[in-house]
Amino acid sequence: MESTELLSIGEFARRSRLSPRALRLYDGQGILVPAEVDDDTGYRRYRESQLTTARLVMLLRRLDMPLSRVAEVLTVSGSQAADLVGRYWDEVERRAASQRELARYVQAQFSGDQRVPGFAEPRLRHVAEQTFITEKRHATIGEFAAVTDDSANRLMTVARRHAVSAGNVVFLYHGEISEDSDGPVEFCLPVDPAAALRAGLTTRAEPAHDEWYLRLTRAQAEYPQILTAYDAVFRRAAERGDRWTGPPREVYLGYFPDAAPDEEICDVALPIS
């Protein structure tokens, strides 16, 4: 049977290997609250059973988990807590993979090397005529993720409602997206033209064309390292004397948020003639 004796903060700190400063911080955050606080002296005591929680907190913090996420994990138990830890670590791995590609990109900027390790060479392909439903939006890079979710989800909802979808979303960049520039970008979803006509949807035709493209993993497709891919397809077109005939674009192969860091998720492409 577990002892009901309360531990002094000194004893609890020694056995949990957490400093008094850390214990004060976790108390303030509601993560590890003392079992008893003396009204006169403010002296804190802990139950022995709280040592398990203290050690879990220490382990979670070694994963660099923010205190707000630690508190979230501790509010649930068992498989739910395990799922939250797994979700957090997936985010960490995606961020690390993105930062690895970003470091390569930055190194290339300093070294003047136009070809970044890990990126393939652009390839040429022919794309048949497509029919799109579209939505054109303005957004800076800081606003882009929210605008993308909003527009892409709206297009996919329309396509599902009328059963007209014929592919994954395509982003056409009619202007630069950056910290200071807001595009515009045209979000496009390929649809079956006959089905779209029957559903009364407004569509536009994208002419058949040849294009240089470069396939990217999710980590490579993060901003700003994706700019390396755009540099590569524009450079290849210039080397070959090709004239670009349409806006540069990203052709997605699946749902970007669900992709693993090393999963191929989109093509950066440049239509040419």
- The per-residue pLDDT of the chain, averaged, comes to 91
172 touches 188 (CB < 8 A): yes
pTM value > 0.85: no
Per CATH, which fold does 123-272 belong to?
Multidrug-efflux Transporter 1 Regulator Bmrr; Chain A (3.20.80)
**pLDDT tier at 241 (50, 70, 90 boundaries)?**
very high
Question: Higher confidence at residue 56 or residue 38?
Answer: 56
172 touches 159 (CB < 8 A): no
Interval 42-66: pLDDT, tens = 888 999 999 999 999 999 999 999 9
Interval 125-135: pLDDT, tens = 999 999 999 99
Question: Higher confidence at residue 103 or residue 242?
Answer: 242
CATH 1.10.1660.10 domain position(s) in the chain: 6-64
Looking at 33-37, 69-73, 117-121, which range is the least confident one? Answer: 117-121
CATH number of this structure's domain 6-64, picked from the four choices 1.10.10.10, 1.10.3720.10, 1.10.1660.10, 3.40.630.10: 1.10.1660.10
At 210, give phi and psi (nearest 5°): -95, 150
